[in-house]
Amino acid sequence: MLDRPDNAQPKAEGKTLVPTLAGRKGLVVGVANDKSIAWGCAQAYRALGADLAVTYLNAKAERFVRPLADAVDAEIVAQLDVTQPGELEATFDIIREKWGRLDFVLHAIAFAPMDDLHGRVTDCSREGFMQAMDISCHSLIRLAKLAEPLMPNGGAIQTVSYLGSEKVVDNYNVMGPVKAALESVVRYLAAELGPKGIRVNTLSPGPLMTRAASGIGHFNDLVAKVIDRAPTHQLTTIEEVGAMSAFLMTDLAGSVNGELIHLDGGYNVMA
């Protein structure tokens, strides 16, 4: 039998089957307000005992995010716009100085310029496509690269995607191909970082009324369709996404790597 590498995260075998993140250090990127998916996740991580670093996009966003960060006792609150040179590195510098290590990261950010988001993929501009890919996809690669040296004992990284990557969803437009790339990046990161005990997974929730979602055209129609066609006839909540995300960050999910997990009441299985 092969020995597990010394740096691997502890396996759950022989331990209590109660999920816990007690003593774990986690970075949450993507809280804009109390409707954000990342906020549902941050609350769940904290409920399982994690210590958190929470980022906000810019000074305008800070006044919405800081009270939320305080509510989960965040030990680090930092400004992070992934398009600003050095801000990602600065965030990791703070984490390295304060904690010396990192156990998990949530990447829950996406952006596409409105003109491109509202037009056909056929008409998408080069600049818009590149910007959407940079912020929504390549930022995960940069995040993982900076997290890797801070996870000598393994860790977990998650991002958030949507069904519009797998199937054509009306009005999802350029975010479809961008999310498809994101999901593929997750599989490659999972393969490359798995030997170091770092697991990388994608959450794929159904539609949720968030600020990012308000940029999608005719979003209410999509919501109505999901309520009608999902076997549960219910919308996903940020609390449900948070609970799944938090579980996947724990050692109990030690075998879940490179996966895409739908949280949509079964909508994706319907023909």
Name the nearest CA neighbour of 148 among 83, 97, 192: 192
- Of these, 10, 67, 83, 184, which contacts ligand NAD (CB under 6 A)? 83
Name the nearest CA neighbour of 111 among 78, 72, 139, 91: 139
- Residue 30 or 154: the one with the smaller Cβ distance to ligand NAD is 30
- Residue 177 or 197: the one with the smaller Cβ distance to ligand NAD is 177
The SS3 of residue 129 is helix
Count CB neighbours of 98 within 10 A.
12
Q: What contacts 219, CB < 8 A, 6 or more positions away?
A: 171, 207, 209, 213
Stretch that binds ligand NAD, among 11-19, 79-87, 185-193, 243-251 (CB under 6 A): 79-87
The SS3 of residue 84 is coil
Residue 133 CB, nearest approach to ligand NAD (Å): 12
Residue 36 CB, nearest approach to ligand NAD (Å): 3
Binding to ligand NAD (CB under 6 A) within 21-60 occurs at 30-32, 35-38, 57
Q: Would you please indicate which residues are annotated as catalytic (active-site) residues?
A: 162, 172
Q: Phi, psi (5° rounding) for residue 218?
A: 50, 40
Distance CA 176, CA 121 (A): 9
Binding to ligand NAD (CB under 6 A) within 132-191 occurs at 135, 160-162
CB 228 within 8 A of CB 256: no
Residue 9 CB, nearest approach to ligand NAD (Å): 25
- Residue 111 or 193: the one with the smaller Cβ distance to ligand NAD is 111
Distance CA 59, CA 40 (A): 22
Binding to ligand NAD (CB under 6 A) within 214-243 occurs at none
Give contact residues for ligand NAD (rule: CB under 6 A).
30-32, 35-38, 57, 61, 80-83, 108-111, 135, 160-162, 205, 207-208, 210-213
